[in-house]
């Protein structure tokens, strides 16, 4: 079995090729290593191999890992990418650097109230239900403009961009469509609302090439680094 460091080497080659194919500089795409379900030791290994940004889906699991890796805290950036309930916002506001899964105003308001004054603003992306499935989390495309306006006005938060988890699609062209739609939404918000959103959080192990082709600035990759879950 390949080691985490070998997987990372391969993945960085994949990212380089995808950027080349899209005519984009490699530095324009940030890698978020999704460590959910893997132990703190795996994060330590990825950190030793040069990674600095880690994504967690489950709040409690993320908090535990952040604590277990307290010695590396100043070198790491922790991103919450999974669903966030209102009874967990305080712990998240105190421990994480980013939240990608804000999909309603109430959650954003609580994060803004609870983000400690001694920490930098919490970096926030709005999760959009781009495939339009009722079962999935994320705000609807129709709700997005008002939500973005309201969240951008909150203190202690910095609205950075949009995040989506599109439905799996079979081929490259089909994979590109939802990513293109998310990129358009961000461009629209920037032009109509005078926002300066700079983060398109999209693309995972199976579709990162399509996401990069459509302008992803941050890809969230788990399986290709840490193995199957
Ligand atoms: C698990 C997860 C990922 C990573 O998915 P892989 O297919 O393992 O790369 C990315 N984003 C979110 C929101 C996830 O839950």
pTM above 0.85, yes or no: yes
Going from the Cα of 126 to the center of ligand 1, the distance in angstroms, rounded, reads: 16
Nearest atom, ligand 1, residue 224 CA: 9
Q: Output the pLDDT for position 194.
A: 86
Q: Output the pLDDT for position 95.
A: 98
Domain boundaries, given as residue ranges, for the chain? 4-226
Q: Output the pLDDT for position 1.
A: 77
Going from the Cα of 169 to the center of ligand 1, the distance in angstroms, rounded, reads: 15
Name 30's bridge partners.
218
User: What digits encode the pLDDT tens for the residues 17-43?
Assistant: 999 999 999 999 999 999 999 999 999
- Counting as low any pLDDT under 70, the low residues of the chain are 134-135
- Residue of 51, 138, 220, 225 to test ligand 1 pocket, by largest number of atoms within 8 Å of CB: 220
Q: Output the pLDDT for position 135.
A: 57
Q: Output the pLDDT for position 134.
A: 61
CATH of 4-226, one of 3.20.20.150, 3.20.20.10, 3.30.1330.10, 3.60.20.10: 3.20.20.10
Q: Which residues contact 226 (CB under 8 A, 6 or more apart)?
A: 4, 7, 33, 34, 35, 38, 42, 46
- Residue of 14, 53, 55 to test ligand 1 pocket, by largest number of atoms within 8 Å of CB: 55
Task: For residue 132, give the DSSP letter.
Answer: -
Q: How far apart are CA 136 and CA 166, in angstroms?
A: 10
The tokens of 124 are what?
A: 């926030």
């Amino acid at each position: 079995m390949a080691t985490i460091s070998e997987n990372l080497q391969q993945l960085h080659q994949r990212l380089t090729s995808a950027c080349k194919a899209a005519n984009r500089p490699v530095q324009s795409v940030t890698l978020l290593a999704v460590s959910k379900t893997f132990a703190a030791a795996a994060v330590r290994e990825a950190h030793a191999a040069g990674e600095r940004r880690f994504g967690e889906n489950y709040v409690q699991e993320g908090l535990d890992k952040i604590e277990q890796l307290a010695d590396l805290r100043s070198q790491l950036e922790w991103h919450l990418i999974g669903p966030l309930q209102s009874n967990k916002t305080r712990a998240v506001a105190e421990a994480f650097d980013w939240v990608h899964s804000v999909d309603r105003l109430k959650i954003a308001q609580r994060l803004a109230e609870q983000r400690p004054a001694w920490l930098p603003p919490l970096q926030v992306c709005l999760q959009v239900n781009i495939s339009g499935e009722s079962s999935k989390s994320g705000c609807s495309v129709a709700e997005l403009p008002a939500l973005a306006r309201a969240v951008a006005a909150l203190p202690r938060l910095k609205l950075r961009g949009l995040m989506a988890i599109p439905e799996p699609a079979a081929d490259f062209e089909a994979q590109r469509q939802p990513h293109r739609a998310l990129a358009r939404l961000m461009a629209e918000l920037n032009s109509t609302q005078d926002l300066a959103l700079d983060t398109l959080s999209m693309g995972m192990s199976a579709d990162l090439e399509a996401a990069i082709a459509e302008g992803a600035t941050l890809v969230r990759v788990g399986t290709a680094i840490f193995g199957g879950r």
